[in-house]
């Protein structure tokens, strides 16, 4: 039996401990904001925060999150008004939007660690998150906006 | 702005109560003859089920004043779910903050054609959506005039209310909803469309996409996000070679995986069979993760069939060989053979572009609930109407008994025009007697795609003594999309010929286009901008090669080849022009010139750049739009590319949402860079070699252009609208490779670039 906290709520999983956290979140407890894009930590669509750090939920087994605190896009801010979320809307970042939850979670973790990232910092940290529509220019602009609090 | 997105039937009924629904009014094509009413005809009427412009179908108003507008096209990132309802709102004088958008299910008799592909939505629906909005506005005005007992000429709808000019009395849309619904629908001939100068939203770019808040908070519902009571999760092991089939399987180990509930065979259809499933073995589980682990534990024996010999390296040589021999003549002007023989100089360019996978961020996925002779589907499909028909055929039930709920699409790019994944879900739901979601993994997506075709392009240009191009012969060899529909198809379909081959807009007296045979050994399908990718690459690279060999500036060479402003007559009988009548959408060399001039001006063509940098230019007309791109590239000593700047000019006629045009063009630069740098799917023993983003890489943020500037040609309201979603892509790769040549002197004739620059 694995106990964990997801978006502030205690959860118990008594199924397969090798199940990737992604599928527990999506299929077992219905938090579908976290997306499946590759299954091998290659695209970042499944990014969540574990203990405040950005992590790829598609390669994180349930056995690795026992006792941990997990935050998904649904729990990033109670009103969806995290500075990164607001900046994303201000810059009209998304096209199809599918990768954006992962992008936003990665960007929120970046700004927590590094409140004033450089161009290189942004490009380096965000390079694990693929956007096939190609919203990168706006992703960088939104992170800058969130960082400056504008 | 926050909009709700619901697709439940109950909401739909509530929506449709507003204006009171009767049957749809189907018009053949939007023909407008009155002044100020955009006098042009589109090909919309030739699409299955044409267009519908009945306000009762698309608009509902509730007594609280909320206006609900139906989006009947699929949202895959272009913004169409916002743009089309915005047209209606503008024309009916609705306040966008009091508008909600609801997604239509697949029902083309009711809504008109729903195939969201071919960059057609705005050009086919601008006028019908304006007609919907205008009719709704006039019905509201008529209702107010009746209430006040005044002539309708004395009232005017402005900003979500109707005002009486004499007395200043006002009635809100909510107060008028019931009476407006009782008014007859205004006939098209009697509609008064707004003067474009009065538009509030159309052409302004001030409206954010309706799903923006939901996307940033994780609430947006994609195909993968459907949840139903009792839902089972499935993944499928499919034959690794197209045309192969299942021999036997052993599910012993798969059944031992915790959470796996069942392993069953899925019916497959022989190749080619349009969009029917490949078949295979499905693992059904309590969650997707268990299903994937169960599939990993399956032991399956396949019969690979005839395509097991497909080897893309060997096939490349075959295609290139075919391009060196005469083929079916698909366009001929003058005497190209003679002119090539008598030319002072002949420049030959041979270009090769490989198969590509779509790799939308959301891999194919669909949910089905089949009960008795009824089926309900939730799927991210570009073709809701076609999906409905195909599900009905596959299950042997009536289309009226199939409901296709269209979710958001996590990218499409043409892949999701094929509904095979929805058919799989329907078959599995029927087989297990429960709702089933079929999730494709990334490997499934890359290995079982309807691939962008592989292609060899060979161009010979004959020059006279003065360096003028007097002859042009272009041979294009590529397996055709028609091979997915009919066995043995070896020549390009008319729509493929029309994408950058026979529509060559150059002012050259002797032109020949040929299409030698090519066989398909895998499933070929539409990929964003389709055959325009290889043709634009070949033609626009060739222009730069001629410029180089004749010592000309590439932009000047390009303008010389385009020639004077004129309507181009290709001489090709019944030439396919993106399904549009040539009268409305001719090949306009003047517009082509102007985007070249605009991009050269705004993009500061000819500016001096640092050592190791280069500028490249390309232009291409596709989806009846005109687009030119300048790329600045920097190549370091190890061959590593960076892109400091991209400029793209687009003339897409009259436009609706410039903010989304900009985002589409920014995205096209990224996708163009991806296919130029990395894009390649190869085959060995009939099997796709690649499987995920490690061996089928796409561009990431750290290699993206630093800035992409988009310059939209202000075309004016009388120019028919044209495509935006696809045409940004074709000019990017040749502009990039022309820039690489300028920077390094190395000419890239084969994509992807891969390691070709490492030796420079």
Residue of B235, B289, B441 to mutate for A, most A C-beta atoms under 10 A:
B289
Q: B209 to chain A: which residues are within 8 Å by CB?
A: 92, 94
* Residues B274 and B153 placed together within one structural domain of the fold: no
Q: What is the CATH number of the domain that holds B97?
A: 3.30.365.10
pLDDT value at B614 more than 80:
yes
B445: closest CA of chain A, how far (Å): 10
Shared-domain flag, residues B394 and B485: no
Same domain flag for B150 and B281: no
Residue B175: both structure tokens together: 């107060």
Separation of alpha carbons B61 and B71, rounded Å: 15
Smallest Cβ–Cβ distance between A104 and the set B216, B668, B670 belongs to B216
Query: Of the candidates A43, A74, A137, which has its C-beta nearest B218's C-beta?
Result: A74
SS3 category, B323: coil
pLDDT surpassing 70 at residue B26: no
Residue B1 lies in a domain: no
pLDDT greater than 60 at residue B3: no
- Closest CB from B218, B290, B411 relative to A133: B411
Contacts with A24 from chain B: Cβ below 8 Å = 287, 289
Mapping DSSP to helix (H, G, I), strand (E, B) and coil, where does residue B611 land? coil
pLDDT(B12) > 60: no
Residue B16: pLDDT over 90: no
Report d(CA B519, CA B318) in Å as an integer: 10
Closest CA of chain A from B323, distance in Å:
33
pLDDT, residue B13, reads: 25
**Sign (positive/negative) of CA torsion B491, B497, B500, B503?**
positive
Angle at which helix B554-562 crosses helix B589-602, to 10 degrees, equals: 160
Return the H-helix or E-strand segment holding B261: strand B260-266
Please count the residues of chain B.
760
Cβ(B427)–Cβ(B277) below 8 Å: yes
Q: What is the mean pLDDT of residues B480-509?
A: 97
B453-472 average pLDDT score: 98
| Residue B494 and residue B435 in one domain | no
Residue B445 covered by a domain: no
pLDDT digits (tens, 9 = 90+) for B79-88: 999 999 999 9
When pLDDT is cut at 50, 70 and 90, the band that residue B29 belongs to is very low
* Residue B4 pLDDT > 70: no
Q: Is B287 on the interface with A (CB under 8 A)?
A: yes
Minimal C-alpha gap between B305 and chain A (Å): 29
For the cut 80, the answer to whether the pLDDT of residue B33 exceeds it is no
Using CA atoms, how far residue B60 sits from B54, B162, B305, B675, in Å, is 11, 17, 54, 44
Q: Which of B387, B420, B439 is the last residue of a domain?
A: B439
Q: What's CA B451's distance to the chain center, in Å?
A: 15
- Quick one: how many helices (H) and strands (E) in chain B? 20, 28
Measured torsion, CA atoms of residues B536, B542, B545, B550, in degrees rounded to the nearest 10: -130
Report the predicted TM-score, pTM, of the whole model to 2 decimal places. Answer: 0.95
Nearest CA in chain B to A133: B667
Q: Are residues B173 and B246 in the same domain?
A: no
Which structure tokens are listed for B273?
């069979």
Q: For residue B20, what pLDDT band results from cuts at 50, 70 and 90?
A: very low
Q: Find the mean pLDDT for residues A22-46.
A: 98
Same domain, B54 and B34: yes
B423 and B526, same domain (yes or no): no
B518 touches chain A (CB under 8 A): no
A14 touching chain B per CB within 8 A: no
Q: How many CB atoms lie within 10 A of CB B205?
A: 17
Q: Is B629 on the interface with A (CB under 8 A)?
A: no
B363 lies within 8 A of chain A by CB: yes
CB contact under 8 A, A22 and B666: no
Mean per-residue pLDDT over chain B, rounded: 94
Q: Is B580 a residue whose pLDDT tops 50?
A: yes
> How far apart are the CA of B715 and the nearest CA of chain A, in angstroms?
25
pLDDT the model gives residue B760: 52
CA distance to partner chain B, nearest, from residue A76 (Å): 8
pLDDT tens-digit map of B225-235: 999 999 999 99
Per the structure, how many domains does chain B have?
3
Let me know whether B114 and B208 are in one domain.
yes
In a domain, B47, yes or no: yes
Q: Is the pLDDT of residue B337 over 60?
A: yes
Quick: pLDDT tens for B243-272: 999 999 999 999 999 999 999 999 999 999
pLDDT at residue B234, as a whole number: 99
- Is position B4 within any domain? no
**Would you list the DSSP string of B641-664?**
EEEEEEEEEEE-SS-S-HHHHHHH
Q: Are residues B258 and B135 located together in one domain of the fold?
A: no
User: Closest-CA residue in chain A for B287?
Assistant: A27
Closest CA to A27 of B289, B405, B139: B289
Contact A94 B221 (CB under 8 A): no
Position B2 in a domain: no
> What's the confidence (pLDDT) of residue B449?
98
Residue A22 touches chain B, beta carbons under 8 Å = yes
Specify whether the CB–CB gap between B506 and B562 falls below 8 A: yes
Q: Domain for residue B256, yes or no?
A: yes
Instruction: Confirm if B298 and B253 have CB atoms less than 8 A apart.
Output: yes
Domains and CATH numbers, chain A: 2-75 (3.10.20.30), 83-148 (1.10.150.120)
Rounded mean pLDDT of B546-559?
A: 98
Contact A102, A47 (CB under 8 A): yes
Chain A CA closest to residue B285 = A27
Q: Are residues B429 and B281 in the same domain?
A: yes
Separation of alpha carbons B615 and B609, rounded Å: 8
- Reduce the DSSP state of residue B692 to 3 states and report it: coil
Q: Does B441 touch chain A (CB under 8 A)?
A: yes
Q: In whole angstroms, what is the distance from residue B524 CA to residue B679 CA? A: 16
Element (H, E) at B145: helix B121-148
Q: Which domain holds residue B235?
A: 223-306+364-439
Asked if A38 lies within 8 A of B663 by C-beta distance, the reply is no
Sheet holding B260-266, edge to edge: B260-266, B280-285, B232-237, B436-439, B365-371, B374-379, B402-406
Residues 525-584 (B) with a CB less than 8 A from some CB of A: none
Residues in chain A: 150
Is there a contact between A80 and B671 if contact means CB atoms under 8 Å apart? no
pLDDT, position B759: 72
- The pLDDT tens digits for B556-577 are 999 999 999 999 999 999 999 9
Q: Is the CB of A98 less than 8 angstroms away from the CB of B411? A: yes
Closest Cα in chain A, distance from residue B411 (Å): 6
Does a structural domain hold residue B751? Answer: no
Cβ contact (<8 Å) for A39 and B292? yes
Model pLDDT, residue B39: 67
Same domain, B630 and B604: yes
Between strands B161-164 and B170-172, the pairing is antiparallel
Q: Is the pLDDT of residue B673 over 90?
A: yes
- Band (B651; pLDDT cuts 50, 70, 90): very high
**Whether residues B198 and B239 fall in one domain:** no
What confidence score (pLDDT) does residue B347 get?
98
What would the pLDDT profile of A118-129 be if each residue is shown by its tens digit?
999 999 999 999
Q: How far is B290 from chain A (nearest CA, A)?
A: 7
The pair phi, psi for residue B638, each rounded to 5°, is: -95, 5
Compute the average pLDDT of residues B398-404.
98
**Cβ contacts from A onto B, under 8 A:** 198
Is the link from the previous residue into B390 a cis peptide, with omega within 30 of 0? Answer: no
Give the pLDDT confidence of B370-400 residue by residue, as tens digits. Answer: 999 999 999 999 999 999 999 999 999 999 9
Of B233, B259, B702, which is closest to A15 when you measure between CB atoms? B259
Q: Which residue of A has its CA nearest to B357?
A: A132
B756, part of any domain: no
């Amino acid at each position: 039996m694995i106990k964990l906290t997801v978006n502030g709520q205690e959860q118990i999983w008594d199924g397969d401990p090798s199940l990737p956290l992604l599928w527990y979140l999506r299929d077992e407890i219905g938090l579908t904001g976290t997306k499946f894009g590759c299954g091998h930590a290659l695209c970042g669509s499944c990014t969540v925060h574990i203990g405040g750090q950005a992590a790829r939920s598609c390669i994180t087994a349930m056995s690795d999150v026992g006792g941990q605190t997990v935050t998904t896009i649904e729990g990033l801010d109670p009103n969806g008004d995290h500075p990164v979320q607001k900046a994303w809307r201000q810059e009209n970042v998304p096209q199809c939007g599918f990768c954006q939850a992962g992008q936003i979670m990665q960007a929120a973790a970046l700004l927590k660690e590094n409140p004033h990232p450089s161009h290189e910092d942004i490009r380096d940290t965000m390079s694990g998150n693929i956007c096939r529509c190609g919203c990168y220019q706006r992703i960088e602009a939104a992170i800058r906006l969130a960082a400056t609090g504008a | 702005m926050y909009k709700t997105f619901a697709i439940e039937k109950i909401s739909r009924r509530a929506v449709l109560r507003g204006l009171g629904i009767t049957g749809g009014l189907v018009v053949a094509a939007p023909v407008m003859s009155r002044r100020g009413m955009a006098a042009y005809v589109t090909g919309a009427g030739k699409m299955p089920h044409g267009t519908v412009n009945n306000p009762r179908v698309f608009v509902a108003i509730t007594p609280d004043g909320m206006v609900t507008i139906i989006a009947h096209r699929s949202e895959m990132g272009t913004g169409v779910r916002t743009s089309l309802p915005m047209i209606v709102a503008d024309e009916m004088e609705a306040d966008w903050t009091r508008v909600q958008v609801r997604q239509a299910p697949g029902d083309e008799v009711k809504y008109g054609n729903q195939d969201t592909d071919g960059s057609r939505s705005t050009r086919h629906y601008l006028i019908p959506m304006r007609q919907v909005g205008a009719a709704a506005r006039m019905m509201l005005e008529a209702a107010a005039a009746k209430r006040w007992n005044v002539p309708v000429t004395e009232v005017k709808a402005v900003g979500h209310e109707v005002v009486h000019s004499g007395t200043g009395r006002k009635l809100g849309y909510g107060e008028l909803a019931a009476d407006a619904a009782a008014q007859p629908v205004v006939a098209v001939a009697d509609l008064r469309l707004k003067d474009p100068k009065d538009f509030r939203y159309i052409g302004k770019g001030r409206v954010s996409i309706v799903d923006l808040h939901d996307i940033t908070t994780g609430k947006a519902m994609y195909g993968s996000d459907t949840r139903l009571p009792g839902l089972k999760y499935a993944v499928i092991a499919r034959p690794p070679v197209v045309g192969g089939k299942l021999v036997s399987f052993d599910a012993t180990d798969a059944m031992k995986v915790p959470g796996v509930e069942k392993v069953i065979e899925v019916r497959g259809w022989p190749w080619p069979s349009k969009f029917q499933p490949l078949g295979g073995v499905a693992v059904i589980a309590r969650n997707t993760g268990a299903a994937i682990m169960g599939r990993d534990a399956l032991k399956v024996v396949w019969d690979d069939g005839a395509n097991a010999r497909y080897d893309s390296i060997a096939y490349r040589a075959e295609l290139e060989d075919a391009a060196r021999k005469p083929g079916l003549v698909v366009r001929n002007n003058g005497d190209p053979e003679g002119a090539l023989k008598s030319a002072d100089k002949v420049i030959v360019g041979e270009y090769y572009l490989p198969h590509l996978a779509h790799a939308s961020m959301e891999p194919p996925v669909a949910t089905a609930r089949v009960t008795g002779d009824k089926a309900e589907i939730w799927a991210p499909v570009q073709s809701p109407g076609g999906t409905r028909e195909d599900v009905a055929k596959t299950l042997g039930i009536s289309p009226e008994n199939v409901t296709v709920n269209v979710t958001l699409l996590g990218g499409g790019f043409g892949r999701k025009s094929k509904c095979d994944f929805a058919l799989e879900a329907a078959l599995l739901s029927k087989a297990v007697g429960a709702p089933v979601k079929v999730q494709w993994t990334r490997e499934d997506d890359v290995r079982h795609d309807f691939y962008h075709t592989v292609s060899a392009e060979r161009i010979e240009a004959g020059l006279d003594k003065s360096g003028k191009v007097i002859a042009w012969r272009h041979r294009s060899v590529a397996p055709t999309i028609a091979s997915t529909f009919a066995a043995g198809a070896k020549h390009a379909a008319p729509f493929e010929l029309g994408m950058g081959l026979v529509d060559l807009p150059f002012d050259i007296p002797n032109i020949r286009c040929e299409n030698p045979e090519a066989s398909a050994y895998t499933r070929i399908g539409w990929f964003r901008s389709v055959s325009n990718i290889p043709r634009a690459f070949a033609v626009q690279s060739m222009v730069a090669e001629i410029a180089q060999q004749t010592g000309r500036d590439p932009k000047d060479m390009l303008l010389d080849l385009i020639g004077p402003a004129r309507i181009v007559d290709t001489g090709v009988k019944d030439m396919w022009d993106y399904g549009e009548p040539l009268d409305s959408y001719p090949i306009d060399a003047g517009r082509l010139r102007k985007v070249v001039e605009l991009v050269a001006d705004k993009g500061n063509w000819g500016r001096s750049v640092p050592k190791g940098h280069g500028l490249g230019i390309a232009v291409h007309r596709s989806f009846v739009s005109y687009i030119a791109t300048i790329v600045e590239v920097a190549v370091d000593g190890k061959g590593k590319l960076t892109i400091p700047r991209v400029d793209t000019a687009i003339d897409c006629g009259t436009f609706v949402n410039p903010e989304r045009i900009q985002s589409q063009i920014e995205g096209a630069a990224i996708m163009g860079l991806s296919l130029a740098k990395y894009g390649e799917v190869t085959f060995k023993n009939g099997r796709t070699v690649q499987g995920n983003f490690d061996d089928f890489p796409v561009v990431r943020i750290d290699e993206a252009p630093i800035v992409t500037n988009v310059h939209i040609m202000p075309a004016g309201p009388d120019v028919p609208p044209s495509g935006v979603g696809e045409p940004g892509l074709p000019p990017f790769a040749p502009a990039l490779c022309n820039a690489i040549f300028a920077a390094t002197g190395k000419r890239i004739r084969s994509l992807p670039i891969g390691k070709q620059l490492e030796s420079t």
